[in-house]
Amino acid sequence: MTCVVGLEVPGGVWIGADSFLGTDQIRYKYDRPKWFRKGPLVFAWAGDARGAQLVEHALTLPAERTRRRSSGDPVGYLVTVAGRIRQVFREAGANLRVPGSQDTTGTEFLVCYGGRLYLLQQDYSIIRGASGCAAIGAGEAFALAALRVAREHVPPRDAVARALKEAAELCPSVCEPFYVELFHQSQS
C-alpha cells in the first residue's frame, strides 16, 4: 500500500513518495518521506515499514574497497548489498514484497546509486530499466503510466508529482502529502 516513483535525469534521480500507511480498513499518514540515505545509496520503500527499518538501521554496507573491486560496475556492488539485505531479512524474519501481487506483506525498494535508479526484486536481484523510470507500491501501474507521459511534457519534478497525484486519484491506498526530492549523482 503506497506509491513511490523514481525518474533518472542527467546527474541524478528524482524520487517521489506519498504518505499512505495502513490497510484496506485504516489509513495512517506517514510523517516523513519514504526514503533514506545510507552511505552512497538512497533507498526508497513501499510496503511494510519493518523492512525499511531493518535496511536503515541493521544493514552494514560493504566496505569502500568492495565498491572499487567491482571495477566500477554499480550492479556488482548492488548485488553485494542485496545479499546483505537478504541476510538481515532472513535473521529478522522479514521478506521482500512480490511487486504487483495481491500479497501485501513485505517491503519493496527502489535504490539510487551513482545517479542511477535500480529496483531490488523479490529474488534479491538488481535491475535497471531502460526507460529511466520506475515505481513501486499499490499505485505502481497508475504512477508509472502517468510518469512516462508527463516526463515528455513537464519538468522532471512536476512529472514525478503528477504521477503521484494520478496514482492517488485512482488508487485508494495512495494519499497526500507527497514528497519529491532530487538526489544528485554525488549524493546517491
pLDDT digit string (tens) for the chain, length 188 residues? 799 999 999 989 999 999 998 877 888 888 899 999 999 999 999 988 999 999 999 999 997 565 555 556 789 999 999 999 999 999 998 888 766 555 556 899 999 999 999 999 989 999 998 999 999 999 999 999 999 999 999 999 999 999 999 999 999 999 999 999 999 987 65
CA angle 16, 25, 121 (to 5 degrees): 45
Decide if 174 contacts 163 (C-beta within 8 A): no
Query: By C-alpha distance, which of 109, 113, 174, 115 is closest to 141?
Result: 174
